[in-house]
Structure formats: C-alpha cells, structure tokens
Amino acid sequence: MERVLSVEDKIRRAEERYYSKREGNIPVVKKEKSKKVEKRVKKLIKQIIICLIIYGIFYLIINNDSIFSKDFTNKAREILEQDINFGEWYSAFITKINEITKKEENDGSQENNAENNEENLQNNDENIGGAIEDLTQDNVTAQSEITNQPETTAQQPEAISSETEPQTELSQMEQDANYIKSTINFIKPVEGTISSEYGLRNPTTPTVPKNHTGTDIAAVTGTKIVSATDGKVILSSSEGDFGNHLKIQVNDVIIVYAHCNKLYVKEGDTVVQGQEIAEVGSTGNTTGPHLHFEIRYQDRYVDPQLILEL
C-alpha cells in the first residue's frame, strides 16, 4: 500500500528534481550570489587599475623632465598655489564700467549744451535783426545806436557758453587719488625709469598680464628700495607671480612693493618713510629687474602717477 505524500513533500521532491537536472544539485540562490560577488570583484579591480593609471600620470608629470619641462611644472605649481582675489578683480571691473558710463554721460551733456548754445545764438541774431529794422523805420538818427548794438550783443553768446559749460566730473580713481594726496605724504620709492605704466598694455610675453595694476620702475638688481610712506608691514611673502613682495598699510591705503631681490623687513614690522625695506630684483613673473609699485585704496587700484612723480 503506497504512502500518500503530503503537499509539502511533493513540493520538496519537485525542487530536488529541478536542481538535479538543471543545476547539478546547486541551488539557484547560491549561484546568483556567486555572480554578484564576481561582479563586485571585477569592479574593484577596475577601480584599482584606474587609480594606478592616474597616479602614474601625476608621477610622470612631476618627475619626468623628458615629457614636461621644469618651466611647465613650475608654472603649473604657481598657478595652483596662486591666491586669486576675485573681489579685487570685481571692484576694478566695476570702477572701469563706472568711468566709461560717466564719460558717456559727460559727452552727451556737452553735445546737448552745444545744441542749446547754437539755438540761443540764432535767437539772439533774430532779435538783433528785428530791433535794427524797427529802429531804421522810426528815424534815421537812431542808426548810429543801431550800428553799435550788434557789437554789444555779439558778446552774449560767449557769456551763455561760459555759463552753460558743464564741469568735468572726476572719476572714482581721481577722487581716490585726491583723497590719498590730501591725507598721506609720499616719496619716490626707488630711482629708475618707468618701464610700464598703470592700465592696459600689449605685452610681448604671454605670461605678462595685459591689465597692469601698478607702475613698473626699472633699475639695476640690488638697488635699494625705500618705503614711500610710514606704515605697518601686513605681508612679507615670496609666493605667487609677485615673487618676493611686501604689503605696507597706512590708514585705508595698501602699498605693494613686488619682484624684489631681497626683503629687509618682515610681517608685523613698523616702517618709517625713507627706510630701506628691500632690493630691486626679478623674482616672480617678470621679464627683467624692476620694482612693481602698486597703490590700493579700499580694495580699489589707484594709478601711482596720479599721486606722485615717479
């Protein structure tokens, strides 16, 4: 007499037959887990290989001179280490835009005043001509007075033009320069010739910036640099495109002495006007020995030649 199988026994036997025929007695769940583990291992190996390749590229860039020159690697390091002050760039850009806008407004007001002057001259000429005709019709004796009248009225256009002539409005930089000159006494920091003035320029070397924020005074390497004012040294550094450079603060004004050969003072020192603070050099991003002399007022650049004769 055959034993009656329960539903659970039937399901168990069916599973055993399925695994034995299809998977060789290996459960499907175990095979899926092994596939997942295999995928993770392959992914981990790929990530390790990619990291090794990236590390190898950086190693070649830094240590292999045959692929990249020392100048290239040094310049790359300087760019990565450079402290870019976007606030100064933005303030300089806004100042330039304000100067251009004010200049356009002044030009437009001058044109309007010129047109008004021409209209006034025409009206005066018409009034003079009408007065002369009226006088000639009244009597002949008034002709002598009439002939003198054009001479006196001819002076009216000059008076009108002088009264309506607009006053030239000072730019923000000119206002800053006038304030600095009225509050701080400056002397020339070094004897030499100006090799590059403040403002836009067309440099022949690609690494030299087109917008020059100071005045370059060319001199022989080792020439003594004196402090143009009294003040406190807030920065003494040798990093970046300025090379060996100082920042000296007096009130709200910061003065930069850049590309020096040697620095005689350190951060935190107090200096007096005329004190030797550095030597002319060619450190940083330069094409020859010179002093980059820069003046800033409330994070705005000011042309040094508006303040003192260099």
Residue that is last in its domain, among 137, 166, 195: 166
Query: Does the pLDDT at position 73 exceed 70?
Result: no
Query: Does the pLDDT at position 263 exceed 70?
Result: yes
For 154-180, what is the mean pLDDT? Answer: 69
For 279-308, what is the mean pLDDT? Answer: 94
Query: Does the pLDDT at position 1 exceed 60?
Result: no
What DSSP character marks residue 33?
H
Query: Does the pLDDT at position 132 exceed 70?
Result: no
Residues 178 and 156 in one domain: no
pLDDT at 153: 43
For 193-211, what is the mean pLDDT? Answer: 83
Question: H helices within 139-210, ranges in order?
Answer: 143-153, 156-164, 172-183
Query: Does the pLDDT at position 58 exceed 50?
Result: yes
For 143-168, what is the mean pLDDT? Answer: 49
Residues 62 and 108 in one domain: no
CA-CA-CA-CA torsion sign (220, 224, 228, 231): positive
- Quick: pLDDT tens for 92-123: 777 777 777 777 667 666 666 666 666 666 66
Residues 179 and 160 in one domain: no
Return phi, psi of residue 212, to 5°.
-90, 125
Specify the number of domains making up the chain.
3
Residues 181 and 295 in one domain: yes
Domain that holds residue 124: 88-166
Is 54 inside a domain boundary? yes
For 125-144, what is the mean pLDDT? Answer: 55
pLDDT at 7: 74
- CA 62 to each of CA 67, 73, 182: distance values in angstroms, whole numbers, following the listed order: 10, 7, 52
pLDDT at 28: 47
236 near 263, Cβ under 8 Å? yes
Residues 12 and 94 in one domain: no
Report the C-alpha gap between 209 and 22 in whole angstroms.
Answer: 75
Query: Does the pLDDT at position 265 exceed 60?
Result: yes
What is the overall mean pLDDT for the chain? 78
pLDDT at 185: 94
Residues 122 and 216 in one domain: no
What pTM, to 2 d.p., does this model score?
A: 0.47
Beta-sheet strands, E only, within 109-252: 193-196, 199-200, 211-212, 215-218, 224-226, 231-237, 244-250
Is 250 inside a domain boundary? yes
